[in-house]
Amino acid sequence: MKTAVFLLLAACGWAQPLLVYSELARIDPAGKVTAPAEPREILSPAIVRNGFSSFQVVVDVPRGTAYQLYVAQNPENAVEVTLYRENGDKLERVQQPVSGTGTQVFWMDLWTARDAPVARIKVEPQLHVNNDWVIYPMEARVMEAVVPDGDRANGAPLAWIQQRLCGLIIDVGNEPRLSQITAQRLRARNAQQDVVLAAHESDDELQMVLGSCKLPVDNPEWYLRIRDYLLRLR
């Protein structure tokens, strides 16, 4: 019945009220993707063990429309889910189910344990709106890749993969206060995980995956090809 609601909305040509994007897609406060022009479809994303995986969840409903947002899992508690509500430059942690009105951008932060089974799991944002349910059908793939314990920054302040290969210095701004969570901070944390995963990979192998060092400035999701490669490592 819930999936029927999702299909009915599409058939009627209505805007989807619930969408999921990668952590790197640029989304404005109105819930619209400004880059890339064709964002990656998030239906069966790979997630790393002993680490975090982050996604942006957009609730797109008319102003004043009340809703509740919840993230369902199967199996139960397969991952640890933390939800944040965007408020300007800050992310504010919220408890499930999240109540709200009007369009809102959320961050869905998943922690997967080191000993989690390598399997497919349901991690599905669900929206209760207008006395009905809309489900975003998402089946995450828990990969064999494991982020090593220890200093995830590897002793270097944000030594990102592209800096290592291309000599590109990335300006991530000032480090936020410990009490303040931002999208920038979550992206940096996840990039640090990638640096540790890539520590024993040769530059030649990574360069083949990256391709040209002339990075497309209009596609912030270009970097996901590197992460896809790292998550397939054992």
DSSP secondary structure letters along 100-114: EES-EEEEEEEEE-T
Does residue 129 contact residue 13 with C-beta atoms inside 8 Å?
Answer: no
Nearest by Cα to 96 from 127, 123, 70: 70
Residue 206 has pLDDT above 80, yes or no: no
**pTM for this entry:** 0.85
What confidence category does residue 179 fall into, taking pLDDT thresholds of 50, 70 and 90?
low
User: How do the domains of the chain map onto residue ranges?
Assistant: 2-144, 161-231
* Confidence at residue 49, expressed as pLDDT on a 0 to 100 scale: 97
Distances (CA, A) of 2 to 16, 20, 124, 223: 14, 17, 12, 34
Distances (CA, A) of 128 to 69, 71, 192: 7, 11, 36
Burial of 33 (C-beta count, 10 Å sphere; 0-12/13-18/19+): middle
Does residue 107 contact residue 91 with C-beta atoms inside 8 Å?
Answer: yes
Does residue 227 contact residue 194 with C-beta atoms inside 8 Å?
Answer: yes
Q: Are strands 90-94 and 98-101 parallel, antiparallel or unpaired?
A: unpaired
* Phi, psi values for residue 166, rounded to 5°: -115, -5
What confidence category does residue 208 fall into, taking pLDDT thresholds of 50, 70 and 90?
confident
Does residue 112 contact residue 146 with C-beta atoms inside 8 Å?
Answer: no
Domain 2-144 belongs to what topology? Answer: Immunoglobulin-like (2.60.40)
What is the overall mean pLDDT for the chain?
A: 84
Residue of higher predicted confidence among 153 and 42: 42
pLDDT digits (tens, 9 = 90+) for 33-56: 999 999 999 999 999 999 999 999
* Confidence at residue 155, expressed as pLDDT on a 0 to 100 scale: 38
Angle between helices 224-231 and 183-197 (to 10 degrees): 50
* Phi, psi values for residue 27, rounded to 5°: -125, 130
Q: Name the percent of the chain lying above pLDDT 90.
A: 57
Residue 24 has pLDDT above 70, yes or no: yes
Task: Using only the alpha carbons of the chain, give its radius of gyration.
Answer: 18
Residue 165 has pLDDT above 80, yes or no: no
- Residue 15: CB atoms within 10 Å: 12
* Confidence at residue 154, expressed as pLDDT on a 0 to 100 scale: 43
Does residue 107 contact residue 157 with C-beta atoms inside 8 Å?
Answer: no
* Confidence at residue 3, expressed as pLDDT on a 0 to 100 scale: 47
